[in-house]
Amino acid sequence: MKNCAIYSSNFDLNQVLDLIKALYPKDSIQVTEDGTSIQVTRKKWFAKTVNRFTIMTSRTQPDEFAKMINGMGNFFAQLQAKNSLVHEKLLIKISTLNMVIGIETEEDISDAFYKELLSIAERLDGPVFWGSRQLLHWDGKLLMDLDGNSEVNDFKVTAHTSLLHGDLKETETALSRKERSERILTERGIPFNKNLPAALPDEGACIRSLDDIAKRAVALCIVALKGECVGSGESEEDTDEVVERVTALYSASGFFSPLEQAFIRNRSPKIDEAAPFSWRYEGYLVMLWALGFVQKLDEPTGVCDVGAAVSILKRYDSFEAFKSSARLRSVNETLDAADLIYRYNWVCVDSRINDRQTPGDLDNGVVYERHYALNWLIRYKDQSWDEIKTDT
């Protein structure tokens, strides 16, 4: 094998260069001006070997990197993993990644070079994609292969907090919002992380427009409807008929994200492919709340009343009628909800990572879906729907 890749939550190009220089102090090292390509030439008697390290990060190539990580996460999410804990932690780890280092060699990777690569992965605290089928822990043990097998029972997940929060300034209003959220958590008896920053912007932030939110509400309702139909065993014909009818009624064919569009066009999705979309009723509820159709978001301790939520859209016989009846919620209220769900999601993720029961009867799935939807509403990192991150 002549290539592999190392992933990391870090994004510091200088650290990578320093690691390589420390490993090869006597060899020739060439670096491109932007630091994203490093070539190491090792001379041995009358021969030489050339190893290349090509680096992409969430800062140097944000769009390409986001697309790559999103695809990687979706791929591993669909695997039938033998160890559910490792699977869940691996998906969390993938969501934190900010760097990939592609390694290319002129000869097959030797045992010595393999150990050197693992030492780099250890320092960067990231997994190694080995061959075309295996994702390894930095100690060389199998995290997961394409058949869902693992050689570890558990592993520690870390993230680079400076990327998630380092550019944020904790303003007075953001700190006040954080204190409000922490009071709610305290009143509910839910332990929380006091070190989480006041991560959201002030009231001057620009949230999504009423038109965009209304379109997203309709799209989420339709994809959730199809997910529900597939999950309940409805026939392809009946499922297609109802989806096409509702889509036409609300002129929604252009409302779907690329991933949603692919799901809608898939006439025979498997149940596990449909399951994530059936959860989108929770995001749909958030949009109804943002549009003023729902007065209050209840505590995220159970799934929403799907019948009641869908009945709201059913009141209107066109998208324009639905949109014209909406009243956009204030930015302040939206940011309050986003800050609170951010802290709830930290509690859920921390509980999963440490294999503890989630406190306060919080429903992990509901919290995640609401966090996802609210991050879209507040333009968190200005990401499109399919690329939303729920950083904690």
Domain boundaries, the chain: 3-145, 168-392
pLDDT tens by residue, 238-258: 999 999 999 999 999 999 999
157/219: higher pLDDT:
219
Cβ count near 362 (within 10 Å): 21
Q: Which of 47-56, 181-190, 280-289, 383-392 comes out lowest in average pLDDT?
A: 383-392
Residues 131-158: tens digit of each pLDDT? 878 999 999 999 999 999 999 988 877 7
Model confidence pLDDT, tens digit, residues 341-353: 999 998 988 887 7
**CATH topology classification for 3-145:** TATA-Binding Protein (3.30.310)
Average pLDDT, the chain: 89
- Cβ pair 56, 36 in contact under 8 A: yes
Q: Catalogue the E-assigned strands of the chain.
A: 3-8, 28-31, 37-44, 47-57, 99-105, 128-130, 134-136, 142-145
Q: Say which DSSP state 136 is in.
A: E
DSSP classification of residue 123: H
End-to-end CA distance of the chain: 37
pLDDT higher than 50, residue 162 = no
**Mean pLDDT to the nearest integer, 366-383:** 92
In the prediction, which pLDDT does 164 show? Answer: 47
Give the per-residue pLDDT at 166.
Answer: 47
Residue with tokens 């070539």: 39
Look at residue 11 in the predicted model and tell me its pLDDT.
83
Residue 1's pLDDT is 67
| Portion of the chain with pLDDT greater than 90, in percent | 62
CA dihedral for 252, 253, 256, 260, sign (positive or negative): positive
Q: Global pTM? A: 0.63
Q: Which pLDDT belongs to residue 140?
A: 93
The secondary structure of 35-103 as a DSSP string is: SSEEEEEEEETTEEEEEEEEEEETTTSHHHHHHHHHHHHHHHHTS--S-HHHHHHHHHHHHH--EEEEE
Cβ-proximal residues to 205 (8 Å cutoff; 6+ apart), any chain: 331, 335, 378, 379
Rg (CA), the chain: 23
C-alpha pair distances (Å), 181 with each of 102, 178, 301, 343, 363: 42, 5, 16, 8, 18
More confident residue, 131 or 189: 189
